[in-house]
Amino acid sequence: MNDRQDQLILAVHVRGLDGMCAGCRAWWSRLTPYPCWQVDWATSREARTVTARFLEGVR
């Protein structure tokens, strides 16, 4: 996966008015509380990428 795919997941999987994940409902018809596991995964990937870029700049 690349940064663009992570951003796509974060753009689609947002909190709905009822507190459920709008992306999970639209893509799989699942009622999943927000944040869903895909948001957790994408934010951890994003944080890992930012940390790696920072550490490369420090060296």
Condensed to tens digits (0 to 9), the pLDDT of residues 11-29 reads 999 999 999 999 999 988 8
Q: Which pLDDT score, from 0 to 100, does residue 57 have?
A: 82
Gyration radius of the chain's alpha carbons = 14
Residue 9 confidence (pLDDT) above 70:
yes
Q: What average pLDDT score do residues 44-57 get?
A: 91
Task: Please give, one letter per residue, the 3-state secondary structure of the chain.
Answer: CCHHHHHHHHHHCCECCCCEEHHHHHHHCCCCECCCHHHHHHHHHHHHHHHHHHHHHHC
Question: Looking at residue 28, what is its pLDDT?
Answer: 85
Q: What is the pLDDT of residue 6?
A: 86
